[in-house]
């Protein structure tokens, strides 16, 4: 489906009539006769085409006076994959809005992070999504409120505060307008015992949706095999890690299920709920469009058998871009085990301690400011890599280098390449796993070169890059399929 598919009425009507779940989150169907909006896969009988109109966002539907369907719950569908595929202003703005920036810093703060005026940001969001930043943030608050209402026994006043509303009145009015039910009515619709099941303060159990298929092997295998002691672990069938969040800290436990990811979040401040969910979804690449990815990669006859054998591979990403950049430097020219050891030492010496009654997590990964203050002579690495490390953390700490979700990918790549010790491999692995660039490629990576030789792909980086032109814009996913030809632990779901 193309970038502006929500404007292609014929495609949208066909997707609704076939109840195609692949397009959930790409666009929303608003029914003129009932004033309800739905996801394309809504199980009810499709309305007549003449009664359908289409919007690119839930916020646009709400702004036009439609309420969310009670059957298909369009507010809980996977997010649009576009925001993780693009690095233009609208995509960067959407990533920041999802990360809660508008609620914390307002529209001026959003615009300042993007380097544009508030007027430019609002104009572009309205043109593409049919809603401005305030409406998009409001739709996210409504979704967070519904989640808390239906999955926790928290009092409504606490839910309003945790969801980001400025007052109880605004909370009540928004919930009624979006869902056509009061907060109390929403809770009464929950099956008996479900909302009362949470007994640990600050702990929530959620279901994170995704577009099928999803192959969890390399996704969770990579995260578990490279886990930093104290910050990450694999325990009882779940990947667990600590989270540094705007209002406090948290612990996420994520486990693959056939039709969702089971997510258990323990938060020191419930205002961080929406941000924590967003970062977990981004780390697991849950908003990807695997059908589009796999269809493109299957056009190469040497990749097609790999895709057919295990479709739906995702790119394992990160919850903290600065953390991953540091870890990429620690992993230069050393084994996975050695990189984990180096990172674990930094965590023990400079990380922020946290309490984890349920497992073995002990720290948040050190902040750039903490790492910039350490004595370089204490680092057990060659002098040249020490210089690379200290330059990186120094620029991250003083704000010279920005690697957050608002980053302009091309600009960030150029700044990284200008740092001492940063070559194409380091920059591209950061682009792939920290920025989330779906087209990042690693032609010089040892695992890629081994896979290329085994499959009969070109052996030299230049020739492999030429062959990979046909894989665009999904070369980062091709990397996952190529890596999967090896027997390295990153390719297998832990037992």
Q: What is the DSSP string of 83-149?
A: GGT--SHHHHHHHHHHTTHHHHHHHHHHHHHHTS-HHHHHHHHHHHHSS-HHHHHHHHHHHHHHHHH
Residues in Cβ contact with 388 at an 8 Å cutoff, skipping those fewer than 6 apart: 329, 332, 419, 420, 421, 422
Query: Is 173 a residue of the active site?
Result: no
How far is Cα 375 from Cα 393, in angstroms, rounded to an integer?
A: 12
Q: What is the DSSP string of 322-358?
A: HHHHHHHHHTTTS-HHHHHHHHHHHHHHHSEE---TT
Q: Cis peptide before 339, with omega less than 30 degrees from 0?
A: no
Burial of 184 (0-12, 13-18, 19+ CB in 10 A): exposed
Give the number of other CB atoms < 10 A from CB of residue 3.
Answer: 10
Q: Name which of 208, 161, 401 is nearest 314 in CA terms.
A: 208
The percent of residues above 90 in pLDDT, for the chain, comes to 80
Q: Between the CA atoms of 490, 459, 425 and 440, what dihedral angle is there, to the nearest 10 degrees?
A: -80
Q: Cis peptide before 435, with omega less than 30 degrees from 0?
A: no
How far is Cα 448 from Cα 459, in angstroms, rounded to an integer?
A: 10
The pair of structure tokens assigned to 426 is 């380091």
**What would the pLDDT profile of 260-312 be if each residue is shown by its tens digit?**
999 999 999 999 999 999 999 999 999 999 999 999 999 999 999 999 999 99
Give the number of other CB atoms < 10 A from CB of residue 484.
Answer: 22
How far is Cα 324 from Cα 430, in angstroms, rounded to an integer?
A: 7
Indicate the domain borders of the chain.
5-77, 83-151+153-195, 201-286
CB 94 within 8 A of CB 20: no
CB 336 within 8 A of CB 237: no
- Catalytic position from the list 38, 61, 72, 263: 38
Give residue 4's pLDDT: 41
**What would the pLDDT profile of 127-157 be if each residue is shown by its tens digit?**
988 999 999 999 999 999 998 898 888 899 9
**What would the pLDDT profile of 163-175 be if each residue is shown by its tens digit?**
999 899 999 999 9
Q: Name which of 28, 96, 173 is nearest 408 in CA terms.
A: 96
Give residue 199's pLDDT: 52
Give residue 398's pLDDT: 95
Query: Is 38 a residue of the active site?
Result: yes
- Catalytic position from the list 75, 287, 428, 445: 445
Give residue 78's pLDDT: 78
Give residue 1's pLDDT: 33
pLDDT band at 86 (very low <50, low <70, confident <90, very high): confident
Give residue 3's pLDDT: 38
Residues in Cβ contact with 434 at an 8 Å cutoff, skipping those fewer than 6 apart: 317, 318, 321, 324, 325, 328, 403
Q: Domain 5-77 maps to which CATH number in 3.40.718.10, 3.40.50.620, 3.40.10.10, 2.30.110.20?
A: 3.40.10.10
Give the number of other CB atoms < 10 A from CB of residue 200.
Answer: 10
**What would the pLDDT profile of 185-195 be if each residue is shown by its tens digit?**
999 987 765 55
**What would the pLDDT profile of 322-351 be if each residue is shown by its tens digit?**
999 999 999 998 888 999 999 999 999 999
Q: What is the DSSP string of 14-38?
A: HHHHTT-GGGBTTBEEEETTTTEEE
CATH architecture of 201-286: 2-Layer Sandwich (3.30)
If you average pLDDT over residues 455-468, what whole number do you get?
96
pLDDT band at 6 (very low <50, low <70, confident <90, very high): very low
What mean pLDDT is reported for the chain?
Answer: 92
According to DSSP H, which parts of 238-320 are helical? 273-283, 290-297, 304-309
Phi, psi (degrees; rounded to nearest 5) at 210: -150, 165
- Residue spans of beta strands (DSSP E) within 344-447: 352-353, 363-364
Q: Half-sphere exposure of 72 toward its Cβ, with a 13 Å CA cutoff? A: 26
Decide if pLDDT at 98 tops 80.
Answer: yes
**What would the pLDDT profile of 418-452 be if each residue is shown by its tens digit?**
999 999 999 999 999 999 999 999 999 999 999 99
If you average pLDDT over residues 383-391, what whole number do you get?
94
The superfamily (CATH) of domain 83-151+153-195 is: Homeodomain-like (1.10.10.60)
């Amino acid at each position: 489906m193309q970038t502006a598919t929500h404007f292609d009425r014929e495609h949208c009507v066909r997707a609704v009539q076939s109840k195609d779940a692949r397009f959930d989150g790409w666009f929303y169907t608003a029914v003129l006769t009932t004033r309800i909006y739905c996801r394309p896969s809504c199980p009810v009988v499709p309305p007549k085409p003449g009664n359908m109109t289409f919007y690119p966002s839930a916020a646009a539907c709400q702004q036009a006076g439609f309420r969310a369907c009670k059957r298909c719950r369009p507010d809980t569908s996977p997010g649009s994959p576009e925001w993780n595929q693009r690095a233009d202003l609208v995509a960067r703005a959407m990533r920041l809005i999802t990360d809660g920036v508008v609620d914390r810093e307002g529209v001026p703060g959003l615009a300042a992070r993007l380097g544009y005026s508030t007027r430019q940001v609002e104009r572009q969001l309205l043109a593409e999504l049919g809603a401005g930043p305030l409406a998009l943030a409001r739709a996210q608050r409504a979704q967070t409120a519904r989640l808390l209402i239906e999955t926790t026994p928290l009092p409504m006043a606490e839910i309003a505060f945790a969801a980001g509303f400025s007052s109880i009145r605004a909370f009540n009015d928004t919930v009624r307008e979006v869902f056509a039910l009061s907060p109390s009515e929403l809770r009464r619709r929950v099956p008996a015992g479900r909302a009362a099941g949470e007994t640990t303060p600050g702990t929530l159990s959620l279901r994170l949706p995704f577009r099928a298929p999803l192959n969890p092997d390399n996704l969770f295998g990579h995260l578990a095999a490279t886990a930093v002691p104290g910050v990450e672990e694999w325990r009882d069938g779940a990947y667990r890690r600590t989270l540094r969040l705007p209002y406090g800290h948290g612990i996420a436990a994520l486990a693959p299920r056939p039709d969702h990811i089971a997510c258990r979040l323990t938060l020191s401040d419930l205002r961080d709920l929406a941000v924590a969910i967003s970062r977990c979804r981004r780390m697991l690449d849950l908003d990807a469009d695997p059908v589009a990815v796999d269809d493109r990669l299957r056009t190469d006859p040497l990749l097609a058998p790999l895709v057919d054998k295990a479709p739906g591979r995702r790119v394992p990403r990160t919850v903290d871009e600065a953390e991953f950049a540091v870890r990429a430097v620690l992993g230069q020219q050393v084994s996975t085990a050695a990189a984990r050891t180096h990172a674990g030492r930094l965590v023990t010496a400079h990380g922020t301690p946290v309490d984890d009654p349920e497992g073995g997590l002990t720290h948040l990964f050190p902040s750039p400011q903490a790492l910039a203050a350490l004595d370089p002579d204490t680092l057990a690495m060659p002098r040249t890599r020490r210089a690379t490390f200290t330059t990186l953390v120094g620029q991250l700490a003083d704000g010279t280098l920005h690697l957050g979700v608002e980053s302009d990918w091309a600009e960030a790549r150029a700044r990284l390449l200008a740092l001492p010790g940063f070559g194409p491999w380091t920059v591209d692995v950061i682009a792939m796993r920290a920025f989330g660039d779906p087209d990042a490629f690693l032609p010089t990576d040892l695992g890629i070169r081994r896979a290329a030789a085994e499959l009969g792909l070109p052996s030299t980086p230049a020739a492999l890059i030429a062959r990979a032109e046909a894989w665009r814009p999904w070369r980062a996913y091709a990397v996952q399929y190529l890596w999967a030809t090896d027997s390295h632990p990153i390719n297998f779901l832990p037992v």
